[in-house]
Structure 1
Amino acid sequence: MTLVKFNHHPAHRTFGGLIDEVFNNTARVWKDDVLTNDFFGTYPPVNIQESKETYALDILVPGWSKEDFKINLENNVLTISAEKKAEQKNEDQKQIRREFSFRSFKRSFSLDETVDAEKIQAKYENGVLQVQLPKKEQDLPKSKSITVA
C-alpha cells in the first residue's frame, strides 16, 4: 500500500534562501505553515499499521460526524474525503469573532493486489476514522512445519 504524497512548498530552494527564511522569517513560516486554520484540515494526519491479516488506517479528524465522510475505491486507489456544509447565519445576531471553519479534505492511498476490496470496513469514533483493509486469504502467510532430515 502506498501513501499518495503532496508537496506544500517548492523543493528547489537555494541555500542562501533557506538560511534567510530560517533566520529572518521564522515567525511568518511558523504562522503560515502551522498555525493556519487549514493546516490539519486540508490533510488530516494518518497512521498506517500492517499486521498479518490487515492494513489499518487511523485518520485524525475530530469535529466531524460519520455522515460527513465519503470513502471510495476505484482502480485500486482508496479515496477518503469529507465536506462540511456552512451553517445558516442568524440575522438577529452580530458576528464578533469567528474561529470555527467549515472545510473539506481528501486523502488518497494506492492499494496493492493483496487488499480484499469486498471486506473493507470503516468506523468513526472519538475523532478518529478507522479504516480496516483486510488482506486476501491466499496472500496471508502460511505456517509450515519443516522436519529436519
Structure 2
Amino acid sequence: MTFVKFNQAPAVKSFGGLVEEIFNNAAFNRAWKDDFHTNDFFGAYPPVNIQETKDAYLVDLLVPGLNKEDFKISLENKVLTVSAEKATENKEEEQKHIRREFSLRSFKRSFTLNEHVDAEKIQAKYENGVLKLSLAKKEKVQDAAKAIVVE
C-alpha cells in the first residue's frame, strides 16, 4: 500500500515568476491600460487646477497649442462645459519626420456648479497654453435688521 501525500501549499515562485504573473494578470492589465494611465487621458481630459478665493472659484485648464477661437464654453442647468476641437492638418511634407509626438486633440470637460456661482459673471481668458476661468461667487444677501416686538 502506498500513500500519496497531497500538498495544498502553493509552489514557491521565483521573483521573476511573480513579476511575470503580476504583469500577465488580466485585472492589472485592464487597470494599466485605463485611459488615466496612458497619454490618452491627458489628450481627452486636459489637467485642471481649481482654487477657491473669497470672491470666486478659479479654474485653470492646461491646453497648449490652441487658439482662443478653438474653445467653446457653455453653461446649461448648472453644468459648465469647456470643449475645444482642433482639426489635425494632413499635409504633404518634404521633410521626413523621425519622431512625431505633438498631437492636437479635441476635448470636453464638464463641471457641475454649486448655487454660489454667479452665472452672469463667469469670465474666460487664454494665455500661455492655460485657459483660465473665473467663476464669481454670488454676493451673500443679508436680511435687513429687524426689531421684534414682544407682545
TM-score normalised per structure 2 = 0.65
Point out where structure 1 has 5 or more consecutive residues left out of the alignment: 1-18, 142-149
The sequence identity of aligned pairs, in percent, is: 66
Q: Distance in 1 between matches of 2:83 and 2:128?
A: 18
Q: Distance in 1 between matches of 2:63 and 2:104?
A: 13
Any idea what SS the aligned residue of 2:120 has? helix
Query: Corresponding residue for 1:70?
Result: 72
Give the conservation status (yes or no) of the 8 Å contact 2:78–2:113. yes
- Structure 2 vs 1, CA of residues 92 and 126 (structure 1 numbering), >3 Å: closer, same or farther? closer
Point out where structure 2 has 5 or more consecutive residues left out of the alignment: 1-17, 143-151
Give the conservation status (yes or no) of the 8 Å contact 2:65–2:104. no
Query: Corresponding residue for 1:108?
Result: 110
Q: Distance in 2 between matches of 1:91 and 1:44?
A: 29
Shift, 1:103, TM fit? 1.3
Whose radius of gyration is greater, 1 or 2? 2
Query: Corresponding residue for 2:149?
Result: none
Query: Corresponding residue for 2:138?
Result: 136
Give the conservation status (yes or no) of the 8 Å contact 2:36–2:42. no
Shift, 1:138, TM fit? 2.2
TM-score normalised per structure 1 = 0.66
Give the conservation status (yes or no) of the 8 Å contact 1:37–1:101. no
What does 1:49-88 correspond to in 2, within 5 Å? 49-88=51-90
- Structure 2 vs 1, CA of residues 33 and 48 (structure 1 numbering), >3 Å: closer, same or farther? closer
Shift, 1:92, TM fit? 6.0
Q: Distance in 2 between matches of 1:76 and 1:32?
A: 27
- Structure 2 vs 1, CA of residues 120 and 33 (structure 1 numbering), >3 Å: closer, same or farther? closer
Query: Corresponding residue for 2:9?
Result: none
Deviations, residues 2-23 of structure 1 (Å, cap 9, x unaligned)? xxxxxxxxxxxxxxxxx98983
Q: Write the letter of the residue equivalent to 2:42.
A: F
Give the conservation status (yes or no) of the 8 Å contact 2:78–2:112. yes
Q: CA RMSD in A?
A: 3.3
Q: Write the letter of the residue equivalent to 2:44.
A: T
Higher relative CO (Cα under 8 Å, sequence separation at least 6) belongs to 1
Any idea what SS the aligned residue of 1:120 has? strand
- Structure 2 vs 1, CA of residues 25 and 58 (structure 1 numbering), >3 Å: closer, same or farther? farther
Shift, 1:111, TM fit? 0.7
Count residues in correspondence. 121
What does 1:1-149 correspond to in 2, within 5 Å? 23-24=22-23, 29=32, 34=37, 36-90=38-92, 97-138=99-140
Q: Distance in 1 between matches of 2:20 and 2:112?
A: 35
